[in-house]
Structure 1
Amino acid sequence: MPKINGNEIKPGNILEHNGGLWIAVKVDHVKPGKGGAFAQVEMKNLRNGSKLNERFRSADKVEKVRLDQKDQQFLYETDGMLVFMDMETYEQIELPADILGDRRPFLQDGMTIQIEYYEAEAISAALPQKVTCTVVETEPAVKGQTAANSFKPAVLDNGVRVMVPPFVGQDEAIVVNTETMEYAERA
């Protein structure tokens, strides 16, 4: 694994620090009036989600980790575990359902998601950026309410509540951005 200097850390880098795997969430380069410059790095642990603020000087060496990414197909859920199949080897793996966090409702049968591995351990899972869902409940459009920024609440087929434009009706398919969990467009 390559070692990088403390001032080369960028947001999104995955680092091995204090025996754990951390992702750099926020990096501020600070140049105080006295003393040398340093990078103030806010990090999040990839295994347990704990946060850490650390200072790295340019002379500090940090281990930069590269994760392997594999596309895997979602098969089913059993006892709080999600079962995925490797698209090339057809091997099946089980991951805890909380690996997706609050985006879990957007996971659909047969969906291909990207799982990141560190050596043989699955660290994270990423859903496709856009997912198609059906609106099961929303208010009818109010005539004359055509303001550019007017939105109304809607409940999707997976139970998630989102805000949709007034022209979207019940039983309509819409595309939802899974990163922001917001309406993107009509399907």
Structure 2
Amino acid sequence: MKLNGNEIKPGNVLQHQDTLWAVVKVQHVKPGKGGAFAQVEMKNLMDGRKLNERFRATETVERVRLEQKDFQFLYEEGDMLVFMDTETYEQLELQKDFVGERAAFLQDGMMVTVELHEEKPIGISLPSQVTLQIVEADAVVKGQTQSSSYKPAVLENGVRCMVPPFITAGERIVVDTEAVEYVRRAD
């Protein structure tokens, strides 16, 4: 789908310089002299590079639609993560590096959304919150409960997280997978 330079919006995925770019920021400029243009900040979906590009209102760029499919996490094998398409039962193997640090939050049977372009995975979305058990938590220091300070704790997946002083080892908590932050006690 072709877009004019003045129709580009944040969140669009563009085909530019023979690769895919996600639009991060757009600033529309209409100078007193000359034609209007859009100053676009983009992030490369393949390698994470950033690019600032200027598109005139009369220029056209190719907007790409990404296919989003639900996959179920099956297991980890070495440095590969194995997912299954819930409709076709086909398996998809992704490098741990592709998922990044958030791979530690994957749990058996967890549903994730994989963004595909021409059947090639280019992005993955995990649930925003997961429930995990605390295996180790520092003791409360006397007087610490009066202030709003947090203490370090280790979750069952080995990730360190700051928790309120009233949380103890063995409790289950809800953790934000993006910011790796304590949200609340689990029900």
Q: Is the 8 A contact 1:16 1:65 kept in 2?
A: yes
State the partner residue of 2:123.
Answer: 124
Runs of 4+ in 1 over 4 A off after TM superposition: none
SS in 2 for 1:22: strand
State the partner residue of 2:178.
Answer: 179
Relative to structure 2, which stretch is displaced further, 109-118 or 150-159? Answer: 150-159
CA distance in 2, matches of 1:8, 1:162: 42
Q: Cα 1:144–1:79, aligned 2, differ >3 Å: closer, same or farther? A: closer
CA distance in 1, matches of 2:46, 2:82: 19
Identity of aligned residues (%): 63
The answer to whether the aligner puts 1:105 opposite 2:122 as a matched pair is no
State the partner residue of 2:19.
Answer: 20
Q: Cα 1:38–1:142, aligned 2, differ >3 Å: closer, same or farther? A: same
For residue 91 of structure 1, report the CA deviation from its aligned partner.
0.8
State the partner residue of 2:92.
Answer: 93
CA distance in 2, matches of 1:57, 1:86: 41
CA distance in 1, matches of 2:24, 2:87: 32
The answer to whether the aligner puts 1:62 opposite 2:95 as a matched pair is no
For residue 92 of structure 1, report the CA deviation from its aligned partner.
0.8
Q: For each residue in 1:136-163, what CA deviation from the matched residue of structure 2 results, as whole angstroms up to 9, or x when unmatched? A: 2221223443456321222211121221
State the number of aligned residues: 186
SS in 2 for 1:108: coil
SS in 2 for 1:59: coil
CA distance in 2, matches of 1:37, 1:137: 58
The answer to whether the aligner puts 1:142 opposite 2:141 as a matched pair is yes
CA distance in 2, matches of 1:23, 1:149: 39
For residue 20 of structure 1, report the CA deviation from its aligned partner.
0.3
Alignment TM-score, normalising by the size of structure 2: 0.91
Alignment TM-score, normalising by the size of structure 1: 0.91
CA distance in 1, matches of 2:32, 2:149: 49
CA distance in 2, matches of 1:146, 1:19: 56
Amino acid at match of 2:122: I
Q: Cα 1:34–1:162, aligned 2, differ >3 Å: closer, same or farther? A: farther
Amino acid at match of 1:49: G
Q: Cα 1:3–1:155, aligned 2, differ >3 Å: closer, same or farther? A: same
SS in 1 for 2:48: coil
State the partner residue of 1:153.
Answer: 152
